[in-house]
Chain A
């Protein structure tokens, strides 16, 4: 059973089918979209059951010639790095469609179609094992998101949509150049043109070219993440995007950047990655502190959460470039964690925005009394986001920081201040919105959180607890793939960066293979 293709094409088939729905059939459209995304999620569970934990390479692979004369294939596969990102995508899409059930009145049909196409494109990014196919999906995600922001967004939506589009496309065009260059280098070396991701792992390029390519790819992914100082498109995009757009943007799309670093940048340019890891680590640590501080002074809840994403994604990039087993596994887990907790926060901000049409902290206060269930869900999501042990965020952050500490102690210590700062800006938000007396009369009888919004939150909260209490379910499949990735970088790159500090002693070095 070509399960990856099924999961990839199901949303597209559903989107095509939706095109034939009559425009007026509002709830039928929404119900069908939700149904299709739930079926996609259920089908994606077969990816998990079919996945062999313990294997490092791509699994469930599929391969069809696409443009044979250029060596481009329709090639899919999944490994420990991409597995949970696919699952996150198939989970968050129904969450979005369910939570925005009553929120979208304008062009519901196009809205649902956009999200289904976006889902397919994001899945495509994570399962493509051909670079051109990867690139096509990578760019394809932009169009529905551009539309979602531009059509269903807030007052300033056109500006935000264009800013989003230009920022991200600027980076990725350079990457396209790089992709084609690598393909031709492969042809140069072997006589065959191929864009298979793993074939190209073996391409050697001159150090100079490697540096240039490293920066071309890194720029594309750094904008996507976004890494300081390329982050300024994100708050604008989030503030203008409708709730569903923000959930997907923060939940999944940003991870296409961190995924790109892991899937392409590290293995393709190991020497450059090691040489320039200091720069990337510095930028991510700056981003962690910067994002947190700026989040703290935001008057707008959504902007606050958006800047918190800059901070959280900084942890992911730090973990990637610290380049050891724990830090990278932590980073992948943190990508999922961020999708859950920030997805939940955006969802919940959307819930009161829907009711009060304001996102300013100053307009709220004392909501805990008027919306107790809502407040409880919000506070659980906040606790997940600040990394309270027992919930998901802690495990990811701890692995990233403790792992990074072994190779990059100073960066890890500075990054660890992020756990203080996260408490500052998120508890500030909680205090201003939920606690204190009800000062604004309009907040006295807000409609309570609706069934569909609660239902959308339930799977997120279950996963927050699951990952916090028993993270092995999620870490175990990653191990071998991450180990293989580190081996690729280590054998091709300059080894010493990958081993623990000299003075760390035997104990610390041994698990890294005792390499020297």
Chain B
């Protein structure tokens, strides 16, 4: 299996082709079987490969499986090659197994959709592309997956393509991501020009060998990070992710929470050697991450669409991951990526189950009192909420805590590290608050929807609840893979250790025991405070708290509800001026050019009139005469 790693993405790709070509006619059971086989096949093959890897390699070496040389031209080129190493393995396990669970869930959730076959074809294509992204052994091949998942995201956000907002959201996602991809591309140009390759290992070696201007390394890191801000929805390119909720809810869980959006974090962790050579770039990553974490969390406070709350929460949590990798705690960032995949997938799938039960309703102001009616959904949602809010010993607590402790302890920029810690802790408080607000408004109090909705409320089928239960379980125990040193064993940090070689004398971050304890206690108290505040405001009081806040500070409320008017700002500052200048180029500049051309023609023609030579009014005759004239003239010349 190790030498046929390419099979892992090929299996879901085959599923895509089968369902794409035959799904429409073949019927639903065929589509279901193919799609599940595609995703389960990838998960099983991946697991098999991991088992073999563990039997053959003991020190985190990279296993390389070169399939063929994609292209080579001059000094530009890359192989189609897959790799397995500790980081790829973590991603592989999360992507394939969480992916399979979400495929399973989708069978129930999408069962009434007319585009069932199309949905699963895209979903399998997504799996294939995501696997290329995480198994590719070079930036360029990774970019194939990177763009491929972007395409699937575009197609799936716009799945309900006859809705204008869905089509617009898909396009927005693709274009905003393209801005990030521009950074990724230029970073690769720099790698070819200055590091001689885009292979992960060779880039790392060339960078560590020294001799490359540190400004170049910084430029590469910042450009890669521009790519990451697109794909992983960070300031300033996060704006597409909330709109992406127009897609079916399982897509939000898989692509826009658990897997694709974490690709930027994966990329930074993958490039940790480059980043550690450029503390400035790391600081930018950490600060953008912290700012995004806090900014998105505040927006989450006043969103009323259940999926929008989760979307801003995702943006915020991705910010936490970037805080981690930015301060140099690469394992911690990846740790949070893993736990977030569990609890956020659980939350999104849970919200899907709620929406399903509520006959398509997404506004939490019209929910309430669902606790008894859909108990499995409610319990799993509660568990995931506890996990994301950061209560020990649930999964989110340990990973978020390691990030915050690392920010406090970072040696790259100790002062800024403290600031990052403070911002992160405030964001964590808001997280606990808005998540419990969401929880209470959805599941407690009176039912605020219509009678028909109330009559219709039902628990989801087993294909949907089983994935919820599994993910909820993982949200409880997932944190144990990375316990703080003062408590136990950080398996994940050890597993990742070989990927983080000493750079300029520094290995992975060291966190003092007292810091670990203090941060843990503070984090637990912050989570508790957020929970208690939300409980006092929303439990049994329905929407009274939101309404009174709106009365007391209408400006703040409106600003948050309108997401700080960032979309409006981009429209006014970028999109409209660009469109206006495009129209100017077309209507004015092109017309001027045509005018000049006509004038030249007019002069030539006037000249012709004057000479009255061969004036037949026929263009071809003019041309012929001109042609002959040139020939005669040349012969006279020689």
> Which residues of chain A have a CB within 8 Å of any CB of chain B?
143, 162, 165-167, 169, 173, 176-177, 180-181, 184, 229, 231-232, 290, 293-294, 296-298, 324-327, 329-330, 366, 368-369, 383, 388-390, 394-395, 398-399, 401-403, 405-406, 409, 412-413, 416-417, 419-420, 423-424, 427-428, 430-431, 434-438, 470-472, 475, 479, 500-501, 503-505, 507-508, 510-512
A16–B197 Cα distance when bound, in Å, is 55
A322–B354 Cα distance when bound, in Å, is 58
Indicate whether B333 reaches chain A with its CB closer than 8 angstroms. no
Q: Are B73 and A504 in contact (CB under 8 A)?
A: no
Q: Are B193 and A504 in contact (CB under 8 A)?
A: yes
Give A364 Cβ to nearest chain B Cβ, in Å: 13
Kindly identify which residue among A177, A290, A424, A501 contacts B175, using a CB–CB cutoff of 8 Å: A424
Chain B 155-169 near chain A by CB (<8 Å), digits 1 or 0: 000100111101110
Give B499 Cβ to nearest chain A Cβ, in Å: 24
> Which residues of chain B have a CB within 8 Å of any CB of chain A?
68-76, 140, 143-144, 147-148, 151, 154, 158, 161-164, 166-168, 171, 174-175, 178-179, 181-182, 185-186, 188-190, 192-197, 206, 211-213, 578-579, 581-583, 585-586, 589-590, 593-594, 597, 601, 619-620, 623, 626-627, 630-631, 634, 638
Give A62 Cβ to nearest chain B Cβ, in Å: 26
Q: Are A294 and B147 in contact (CB under 8 A)?
A: no
A190–B197 Cα distance when bound, in Å, is 48
Chain B: which residue is nearest A503 at the CB level?
B213
Contacting residues, chain B, for A501 (C-beta < 8 A): 193
Q: Are A435 and B167 in contact (CB under 8 A)?
A: yes
Kindly identify which residue among A296, A398, A424, A508 contacts B75, using a CB–CB cutoff of 8 Å: A508
- Most chain A CB inside 10 Å of its own CB: which residue of B582, B590, B638: B582
Contacting residues, chain B, for A326 (C-beta < 8 A): 73-76
Supply 7 further A-B pairs (C-beta < 8 A) apart from A165-B623, A403-B74, A470-B70: A167-B597, A298-B586, A326-B73, A390-B144, A402-B76, A507-B75, A507-B194
A395–B174 Cα distance when bound, in Å, is 20
| Given known A329-B74, A435-B167, A472-B71, contact A402–B158 (CB-CB < 8 A) | no
Chain A: which residue is nearest B600 at the CB level?
A170
Chain B: which residue is nearest A325 at the CB level?
B74
Q: Are B195 and A420 in contact (CB under 8 A)?
A: no
Q: Are B186 and A413 in contact (CB under 8 A)?
A: yes
Give A280 Cβ to nearest chain B Cβ, in Å: 18
Name 29 interchain pairs, CB-CB below 8 A, sorted by A.
Answer: A173-B626, A181-B634, A232-B597, A290-B585, A293-B585, A296-B579, A327-B74, A329-B74, A383-B151, A388-B147, A389-B143, A398-B140, A403-B74, A405-B190, A416-B182, A419-B178, A420-B181, A424-B175, A428-B171, A435-B161, A435-B162, A436-B163, A437-B163, A470-B68, A471-B70, A475-B73, A501-B193, A505-B212, A512-B74
Q: Are A297 and B586 in contact (CB under 8 A)?
A: yes
A100–B171 Cα distance when bound, in Å, is 32
A475–B186 Cα distance when bound, in Å, is 23
Give A54 Cβ to nearest chain B Cβ, in Å: 15
- Most chain A CB inside 10 Å of its own CB: which residue of B73, B193, B197, B634: B73
Contacting residues, chain A, for B630 (C-beta < 8 A): 173, 176-177, 180
Q: Are A508 and B582 in contact (CB under 8 A)?
A: no
Q: Are B76 and A403 in contact (CB under 8 A)?
A: yes
A232–B596 Cα distance when bound, in Å, is 11
Give A229 Cβ to nearest chain B Cβ, in Å: 5
Q: Are A508 and B590 in contact (CB under 8 A)?
A: no
A406–B143 Cα distance when bound, in Å, is 20
Kindly identify which residue among A329, A413, A510 contacts B73, using a CB–CB cutoff of 8 Å: A329
Contacting residues, chain A, for B631 (C-beta < 8 A): 176, 180
| Given known A166-B601, A508-B75, contact A437–B162 (CB-CB < 8 A) | yes
- Most chain B CB inside 10 Å of its own CB: which residue of A368, A398, A437: A398
Q: Are B74 and A504 in contact (CB under 8 A)?
A: no
Contacting residues, chain A, for B69 (C-beta < 8 A): 472
Give B82 Cβ to nearest chain A Cβ, in Å: 15
Q: Are A419 and B168 in contact (CB under 8 A)?
A: no
Contacting residues, chain B, for A413 (C-beta < 8 A): 186, 189
Q: Are B192 and A369 in contact (CB under 8 A)?
A: no
A507–B75 Cα distance when bound, in Å, is 9
Give A309 Cβ to nearest chain B Cβ, in Å: 15
A298–B162 Cα distance when bound, in Å, is 23
